[in-house]
A and B are shown apart, each in its own frame.
Chain A
Amino acid sequence: MRDYERYIRYRTFPTPWCPGCGDGIVLKTIAMAFADLKLPPDDIIVVSGIGCSGRMPTFFNTNTLHVTHGRALTFATGIKLARPEKTVVVISGDGDATAIGGNHLIHAARRNIGIKMILINNGIYGMTGGQVSPLTPQKFITETTPYGNIEPKFMASELLIAAKASFVARETVLRMHPLRQVIKKSFEHKGFSVVEVISNCHINLGRRNKLKDPITMTKWIASRSVTQAEYDKLTSEEKAHKYPVGILMEDKERLEYSELYYKHIVPAAKEAAAKQSAEGK
Chain B
Amino acid sequence: MSKKREVLQGNIIAAKAAVAAGCNFYAGYPITPSSEVAQYMSAELPKLGYDFIQMEDEIASLGACIGASLSGKKALTATSGPGFSLMQEHLGMAVIAEIPVVIINVMRGGPSTGLPTKPAQADMLQARWGTHGDHPIIALYPAFSDEIYSETIRAFNLSEKFWTPVILMMDEVIAKAHEDIEIPDQKEIAVFNGADHPLDEDLNIYDRQIGEIPPRVDFFKGYPIHIDSLEHDRHGWPTTDPALVDKMQTLRMQKIYSRLDEIIKFKEYRMEDAEIMIFSFGVSARAAIAAVDLARQQGIKAGLFQALTIWPFPERELKERFKRIKKVLTVEMNMGQMKLEVERVATDDVNTRALLRANGVPFTPAEVLQSLKEFVK
Contact = CB atoms under 8 A, between A and B. Distances in A.
A71 B60 contact: yes
Nearest to B223: A42
A77 interface: yes
Interface residues of B, number: 47
A9 B182 CA distance: 54
Nearest to A78: B67
B67 A65 contact: yes
Given A63-B219, A83-B220, A77 B53 contact: yes
Contacts of A67: 63, 66, 93, 229
Contact of A266 (B25, B49, B65): B49
Q: Name the prevailing secondary structure of the A interface residues.
A: helix
B17 interface: no
Interface in B49-69: 49, 51-53, 55-57, 59-69
Given A78-B25, A261-B51, A272-B47, A58 B238 contact: yes
Contacts of A42: 220-224
A273 interface: yes
Contacts of A269: 43-47
A31 to B, nearest CB: 13
A103 interface: yes
B273 to A, nearest CB: 49
Nearest to A40: B224
A218 to B, nearest CB: 29
B27 A104 contact: no
B275 interface: no
Interface in A67-92: 67-68, 71, 73-79, 81-83, 86
Given A71-B59, A79-B67, A269-B46, 8 more contacts: A47-B67, A63-B220, A64-B225, A64-B226, A65-B67, A74-B63, A78-B64, A107-B60
Contacts of B25: 78, 81-82
Interface string B54-89: 011101111111111111110100000000000001
Contacts of A78: 25, 27, 53, 63-71, 73, 75
Contacts of B27: 77-78
A172 interface: no
B73 A82 contact: yes
A43 B65 CA distance: 20
Most chain A C-beta atoms within 10 Å of own C-beta, residue among B51, B57, B73, B228: B51
A79 B237 contact: no
A83 to B, nearest CB: 5
A63 B224 contact: yes
A78 B227 CA distance: 15
A265 B49 CA distance: 9
B229 A68 contact: yes
B228 A66 contact: yes
A58 B46 contact: no
A66 B226 contact: yes
A77 B67 contact: yes
